[in-house]
Structures are given as structure tokens and as C-alpha cells.
Amino acid sequence: MKKLPIAYQLYCVRNEMARDVVGTLKKVKELGFDGVEFAGFYDYSAQDMKALLKDIGLEPVSSHVPLQAILADMDKVIAYHKELGTPYIAVPYLAEEDRPGMPGFAKVLNLIFRFGQKCRDAGIQLLYHNHDFEFAKVSGLYGLDFIFQAIPEDLLKTEIDTCWVKYAGVDPITYLASYKGRAPVVHIKDFVSDNSGRTPYALIGLNEDEEIDRSGFSYRPFGHGSQEPEALVEAAIEAGAVWLVLEQDDPYGESPFEDARMSMETFRRIGVK
């Protein structure tokens, strides 16, 4: 199998990052990751974060930037990421009123279009990271497909989250193939679900000391859930991925680092790392 660099989505270690940015990034490097995808910068300037990553040996691959931050100051967002040297910025999530088929959706498309132009002009590629709600139909299309048909490819590429695609009832392997050439960054994420109604959203935003109910749905290390590891990575490679991003929103084992170690073992076993 073709080897690809693998980044770690730092949302997985958000509690650890809040306590110790330097120590957490060093652990990520020790686990064998080549880069990171940000979900916030913990008051670091772009210059300081760039220097830290260079010292540790991690690439700043991408960054999830909330839509509200983009709306507040597009130029500020772009300037930070330009100085950091991040080639990708991703729109990570839409509030309920902004989702496909909802009243705010048209304004969101306009905002993404304008921000995509500014990113392109700055040499940054804008991505859109999906959940499951983008698979509701809009004018006969999945909402996600509607977004990518409404906005030109040079302004917006995919960051397909393979967990959410599968959770929505769509085959992520087939879906990746439909965006061949438009999928530079792919989220690799594994899970188990018994369709009992327990959803991934119930796990989002939990504090570290809150008890976690894993009945019905739980995130798992890659290769320890319902995904087909080798076929999934092959599909990402065939779609033109230049980076894989491991994400596990909530740890299943003793710590997110232990789960990440198990995921990296899977990447090595299938020969991508």
C-alpha cells in the first residue's frame, strides 16, 4: 500500500492541550504522527506555535475554524494560518439553523464562497468537514453534495469524515470514490453502533470528569470498530488524499494517547505508515 503521512486531530486531546500544550504535542510526535490538525491554539501566536511545531517535528496540516470566527474576521483567520504555514483550513460544523435545508443555509453557502476566495488568494485551500446531518436531502441531493456542487472545486474541497458518513448510512468507501481528485485530506475515524438511538452527539463536549455512557454508540481506535481499515485507506488513497487525519472524539481506553497508539498500530499493520 502507498505510504501517506498521518496527522492527529488535536480535538482528541483537547483536555490535555488545555493543561500542557508542549507536553501533549511531544507525545503526539512520539506516537509516530507526522502532523497535527488544530482545533484551537490555546493563546499561542502563530509565530510561537510554528516555532514549537518545528522544534518538535510536526507539520501544521490543517485547522478547524468555527464559522463564527470566520464570520467575525476572515482576514485575521487567514493571516494567522498563513504565518503558521497551514495549507488547509476546514469549516468544521454547522449550527442547526445553518444546516442544509434550514433558513440559514443560503447565507452559509455565501460565506463559504467568499471565504474560499480569500483563502485561495492567500494560497490556502478551504475544506468542508462533514457530520451526518449533511446527508439530509436538499433538492434531491445529499446536503453535502449540494454544498460541493454550489461552490467551485478550486474554492472548496472535501474533508470527508468517514465515521459520520458511515453513521449516516452511506458507504464511506464508495462515497470517497465520488470525490476523487477533490479529497486531499480524509478523516479516519472508527466506531461501533447498535442503532439503539444513542448518538455520537451525546458524547460531544463532555467534561473530563463526566461519566460517559457508551451504550449504543462509542468511538474506537482505528481498526477496532466497524470500519474496514485497509479498504477505507485504499479508498482515501484512490480519491487522491495527501494526508490522513486520525480523529477519535472521545477515548475508549485508558487515555486518548493509548487509543492513538492502537490506531497507529493499525496504520502500520495495513502498510500505510
CB burial readout 59-90, b (16+ within 10 A) else e: bbbbbbbebeebeeebeebbebbeebebbbbb
Cα–Cα distance between 142 and 135 in angstroms, integer?
A: 5
**pLDDT at residue 207 is higher than 50:** no
Polymer length in residues for the chain: 273
Query: Nearest CA to 157 among 132, 135, 184?
Result: 184
Residue with cell 474541497: 157
**pLDDT at residue 213 is higher than 80:** no
Query: Nearest CA to 28 among 50, 5, 58?
Result: 58
pTM over 0.85: yes
Task: Provide the pLDDT for residue 203.
Answer: 46
Q: Which residues contact 119 (CB under 8 A, 6 or more apart)?
A: 78, 89, 125, 126, 155
Cα–Cα distance between 223 and 208 in angstroms, integer?
A: 25
Q: What is the mean pLDDT of residues 155-161?
A: 98
Q: What is the mean pLDDT of residues 186-200?
A: 79
Q: Which three cell numbers stand for residue 71?
A: 464570520
**pLDDT at residue 14 is higher than 80:** yes
Please report which confidence band the pLDDT of residue 17 belongs to, taking 50, 70 and 90 as the band edges. Answer: very high
> How many CA atoms, within 13 angstroms, populate the side-chain half-sphere of residue 57?
10
CATH topology of domain 6-269: TIM Barrel (3.20.20)
Task: Provide the pLDDT for residue 148.
Answer: 98
Express each pLDDT in 113-146 by its tens digit: 999 999 999 999 999 999 999 999 999 999 999 9
Task: Provide the pLDDT for residue 216.
Answer: 73
Q: What angle do CA 133, 139, 144 make, to 5 degrees?
A: 35
CB 260 within 8 A of CB 273: no
Residue 228, exposed/middle/buried by CB under 10 A (0-12, 13-18, 19+)? Answer: middle
